Amino acid sequence: MPAQFNYALLSGSTSGRPIPVVQTATPGTLIHTADAGSATFDEIYLFATNVTANSVALTVEWGGVTTGDHIAHLYIIPGNSARVVVVSGQPLNGGLIVRAFAATASALNVSGFVYKIS
């Protein structure tokens, strides 16, 4: 049977709206909780925008909150930026959580989508 792909919103988003990154340290702001199964997974795409005039560092915590779990560590998002690709289709499952924190509270918004693959 071929794989099935279902488009979904980030679980940390309200109706697809951008998620303000309010945390400035670990554990970061909740972005998404992956599918709990081991035979299915979420292919996650994340974008960041900066709503301030100054560049701001972003860290994405991928499945955990230790330094080894950071998929994007100190990714610099330019001031007043358009959407910047931060994660481009990284898989995750097992109910693991994606979080993010920024050097400045509420300066960055994270948006994106998920392909749920089974």
For each of the domains in the chain, give its residue range(s) and CATH number, in order of start: 5-117 (2.60.120)
What percent of the chain shows pLDDT beyond 90? 83
- Whose tokens are 């001031």? That residue is 79
Its pTM surpasses 0.85:
yes
- 33-79 per-position pLDDT tens digit: 999 988 889 999 999 999 999 999 999 999 988 777 777 778 999 99
Residue 32 token pair: 């998404």
Residue 50's contacts (CB-CB under 8 Å, 6 or more residues apart) are: 56, 77, 78, 79, 80, 81, 107, 108
Segment 28-46, tens digit of pLDDT: 999 999 999 888 899 999 9
